[in-house]
Structure 1
């Protein structure tokens, strides 16, 4: 119930039952949760495409293709070392291999939730409920180096990130990623529709 603690009882009660069920799961014992779907929207400005290309040096956390109606999949497993979660996202492309994005969500830091995206770079996230949806908002970026946590100044941040989990009924939900900059406007906007894959019966 770690996400429940982050948003409080009122926020938790405002979420649809399907969203509460997804974010109440504990993934111990080697369990993996799988989501499959397709990318239905992806927009990137020129600067957004440049940012996505540069970000490949730290693991490529942003989409690098604007292809739509291509497969997408996500797997979530427990990180036994920290009690957090490993997230692996796979985005298909019309040409070439799919893009694979790895990150770790840890329930730590000043906001209670951090996402590590590679090369020591992390994002402190605020979690909010609005309109019956769960939103993950970037609070600040930081560098973890030699056991120290160094907060990046605002002028070094690539933009503000907002990830929304929106229930679409019948087991489907939308994953909406938006990255914007106060001076440069919208850089990246991606919408992916997912549905949880049922565990096979033994």
Structure 2
């Protein structure tokens, strides 16, 4: 669209130059007619007119060539600008994609670090919970052991007391049996003594 406008401007310029040339020829003709009559050959006037037209046409051709070169140069410049703009846009997109990729990698790395920290925290919490459970089991077992030892200690003490009581009872029984045996022997001895005395008495009678 820009090239079409530019070409329209150039075409208009050509038309303007042509009209200016024709007007100039007309003015030259008018000036020639208004001047005092001079003795000049008619051939010179026709020749000058032809030379002026050739000069104008040559100038128009030269201007067209200049404008064509300018148009080509402008098109080349525009092409270079568009190419540079496309390359710049492409480079910008590449950098944006690179930045986005870096941000995505950084985000992924951050998520991985957070996940690792979370897993470590969960592992620590799990180990701490297991440690507490094991500690509670140990304390419970220790308390049960202490209770059992205390029960066994009391049982031993009760057994010792019972054994001592039984020993004392056995000793008392033995002492009582010995006392009864002594009393029985004393009683038998006394009876024997009485029997012998009675026998002696009867023998004396």
TM interval, shorter chain, is: under 0.3
Pair member with larger Rg: 2
Q: Which has the higher strand share?
A: 1
Higher helix share: 2
- TM-score normalised over the length of structure 1: 0.14
